[in-house]
A and B are shown apart, each in its own frame.
Chain A
Amino acid sequence: MEKIIQPIPVAQSDLAQRELDAMCVNESELKHPWWYNLKYAAWGVLFGIVFVKAEIVSWFRIQEMFRFESFHMYGVIGTAVMVGLISVLLIKRTKAKTIYGEEIHIPNKEFNKGQIYGGLIFGLGWAITGACPGPLFAQVGAGFGVVIVTFLSAWAGTWVYGYFRDKLPH
Chain B
Amino acid sequence: MLETLKQPWPWYVAGALIGLTVPYLLLVGNKTFGISSSLRHLCAACIPGNVKFFKYDWKKEAWNLFFVGGIALGAFIAAFFLSNPDPIVLAEPTQEYLASKGIPDTTQLLPAEIFSWEQLFTLRGLIFMVIGGFLVGFGTRYAGGCTSGHAIMGLSSLQWPSLVATVMFMVGGIIMTWFILPHLLTL
Interface residues of A (CB under 8 A from B): 14, 17-18, 20-28, 34, 36-67, 69-73, 75-85, 87-88, 90-91, 96, 98-100, 102, 104-112, 114-134, 136-147, 149-163, 165, 168
Once the chains are docked, how many angstroms separate the CA of A166 from the CA of B131?
Answer: 23
Nearest A residue to B164 by beta-carbon distance? A115
Q: How far is the CB of B89 from chain A (nearest CB, A)?
A: 9
- Known interface pairs A25-B61, A45-B77, A105-B30. Does A132 touch B40 (Cβ–Cβ under 8 Å)? no
B26 touches A98 (CB 8 A): yes
Interface residues of B (CB under 8 A from A): 5, 8-40, 42-43, 47, 49, 51-57, 60-64, 66-80, 82-84, 88, 90-91, 93-94, 97-98, 106, 109-111, 115-117, 120, 127-162, 164-178, 180-181, 184
- Known interface pairs A43-B67, A77-B151, A134-B146. Does A124 touch B135 (Cβ–Cβ under 8 Å)? yes
* Of B74, B134, B162, the contact of A45 (CB 8 Å cutoff): B74
Residues of B within 8 A of A125 (CB): 131-139, 172
Q: How far is the CB of A61 from chain B (nearest CB, A)?
A: 8
Give 11 A-B pairs besides A91-B27, A157-B133 with Cβ atoms closer than 8 angstroms.
Answer: A14-B60, A22-B145, A66-B170, A115-B150, A119-B169, A119-B171, A119-B172, A121-B139, A141-B74, A147-B129, A155-B43
Q: Is the interface of B mostly helix, strand, loop or mixed?
A: helix
* Of B21, B75, B155, B166, the contact of A85 (CB 8 Å cutoff): B155
A146 touches B117 (CB 8 A): yes
* Of B21, B54, B111, B176, the contact of A124 (CB 8 Å cutoff): B176
Q: How far is the CB of B101 from chain A (nearest CB, A)?
A: 10
Q: By CB atoms of chain B within 10 A, which of A37, A53, A134, A163 has the most? A: A53
A124 touches B175 (CB 8 A): yes
Nearest A residue to B19 by beta-carbon distance? A83
Residues of A within 8 A of B117 (CB): 145-146
A82 touches B19 (CB 8 A): yes
